Amino acid sequence: MRKFLLLTIGIFLFNYGFSQNVDDVVKNAWFIPNGTARSTSVGGAIGALGGDITATYVNPAGLGFYKTREVVLSPAVLFNNNKSDYRGTSAGNAKKSGFQLGTTGVVFGGKVNYDPNKTSAFSISVNQLASYNNKIHYNGTNDYSSYSEQYLEQLIADNADINKASNDYPFGASLAFFSYLIDSLSGPGGELKGYRSLVPVSTGTVQQYDETDGGGLYEVSFGFASNSKDKLLLGGSINIPLSFYTQDITYMETDVVPNVNNNFNYSAFTQNHKLNGAGINGRFGIIYRPQPSLRLGFAFHTPSFVSYTDKLSAEITTDTEGYHGVQTSKSSDFSNAVHEAHYNEITPYKLVASAAWVFQEVENVKLQKGFISADIEYVNHRGSRFLQQTGNDGGNPETDNYYESLNDVIKSYYQGAFNFRLGGEVKFSPFAVRLGAAYYGSPYDDKNLKANQILVAGGFGYRNHGMFIDLTLAQTFNKDVSFPYRLSDKANTFATLNNQRMNILLTVGFKF
């Protein structure tokens, strides 16, 4: 069933140029979020701890511990390195680094005039939750399948004649057809008998995949929390996610046999993808202190509703040697190509349960000796959904079928996952030393797709006279997979990716 749905999606994708697919789910929901240097250094485990502006993005009730006003700035630098293995060939040193912005903003905390036992806090902040800056490279020899076969599947499933093959798939089979990657077969009377790929799969090709990504997922947040006698804290936030994503892909297949008469030397597919989106979500949380040193928290993150503008272009160049030489076909050559699409996404909801123990818990935080804190988070990855926007191809049955099929694949392809965060701090006033770690479980239902993310972090801080400086070094180890193409009649080949990210964060803040 999944193979059929993937094929249905592929036909529509290549026909209309919509570039959202099942892989976009992890881009928008499976990441270790950024924060302040302090929150990152303890693995992000601040759901019950609070007292940090990043609580807005984990459990907004934690803002209730603020009783003064504070401004925070958190610049960061990311160093990115990828290693891969594709069909037994290892590759490394695919690197891309860049600037990041951790949680930055202002918090206003103070007493409630009508009740001396209550305080409240309000925050305005921005945070780069995820960085899309990345570079992926892998290559290997394949005598089992070719990316050209996806275009054959498309034409066969659609029972396409020559006119359809030439015009109806400006982002897929039509590009392959005009570049002679895919050629027609004629019967005895000259009638169309079918199609064939010119790629010599049986003797093998060298396949090479290169992808460069840029941009990030940002969120502007407005948080509010109330504190009743430092016993019960309630909070919520309204958040505006802003997604900026660019992707450039180059995929090549090159003949491994030095035969200039087999009508194939190489084929190269390139795709340029630009995606911008904006949306809204909410977070709501509670923290309860059954005794002064113990803090228990729970938070619910609503799904984000995000509207996207998606721009796409593609081309294929094929060298058929003496058959038709070098031919190039571009999506821009087709008057029916939809290079800009509009759609919506509903991201997964999250549940966060937290606990923290503060050593020598007193109102004067300078006298506290430290803490240990932990979060358990559940993310419903299979709950992601893509929807068409009203007024953009609304009511088109093919569009409805596409999104229905895509969402069915998402439900079968992904699973709910648990994430774990743990961290602690020891104070030597006015200094503090921190350590933390986090584990993010695989979102994939298929156990053969080995994936996880691990964060190890450490840092120190200085707080005195209303000023604080925190510095953190965080190392992330990510295991994931990458599919250069997908087929419905064969097992899909994929690369295993091992990504390491080193993040250096600095947070500077002032109370006023």
User: Cis ω on the peptide bond leading into residue 188 (within 30° of 0)?
Assistant: no
Q: Which domain holds residue 200?
A: 2-511
Q: Please report, for residues 80, 456, 498, the alpha-carbon distance to residue 478 in angstroms, rounded to integers and kept in the order given.
A: 11, 12, 6
Pairwise CA distance, residues 72 & 39, whole Å: 13
pLDDT > 90? residue 238:
yes
- pLDDT band at 221; cut points 50, 70, 90: very high
pLDDT > 80? residue 365:
no
- pLDDT band at 10; cut points 50, 70, 90: low
Query: Looking at residues 489-494, what average pLDDT do you find?
Result: 89
Q: Write out pLDDT tens, residues 286-336.
A: 999 999 899 999 999 999 999 999 899 999 999 999 999 999 999 999 988
- Return the H-helix or E-strand segment holding 398: helix 397-413
Give the pLDDT confidence score for residue 113 in this predicted structure: 76
Give the pLDDT confidence score for residue 5 in this predicted structure: 47
CATH number reported for the structural domain that contains residue 160 in this entry: 2.40.160.60
The total number of structural domains that make up the chain: 1
Give the pLDDT confidence score for residue 366 in this predicted structure: 64
Cβ neighbors of 148 (< 8 A, separation 6 or more) are 176, 181, 182, 197, 198, 199, 253, 267
Q: Average the pLDDT over each of 402-406, 475-479, 480-484 and give the range with the smallest value.
A: 402-406
Mean confidence (pLDDT) of the chain: 90
pTM of the predicted protein model: 0.89
Give the pLDDT confidence score for residue 431 in this predicted structure: 94
Cβ neighbors of 69 (< 8 A, separation 6 or more) are 106, 107, 108, 109, 110, 511, 512
Query: Looking at residues 492-507, what average pLDDT do you find?
Result: 94
Q: Write out pLDDT tens, residues 62-120.
A: 999 999 999 999 999 999 899 999 999 998 777 788 889 999 999 999 887 778 889 99
Query: Looking at residues 151-173, what average pLDDT do you find?
Result: 92
- pLDDT band at 161; cut points 50, 70, 90: very high
Please report where in the chains the tokens 């979500």 appear, as a residue.
Answer: 281
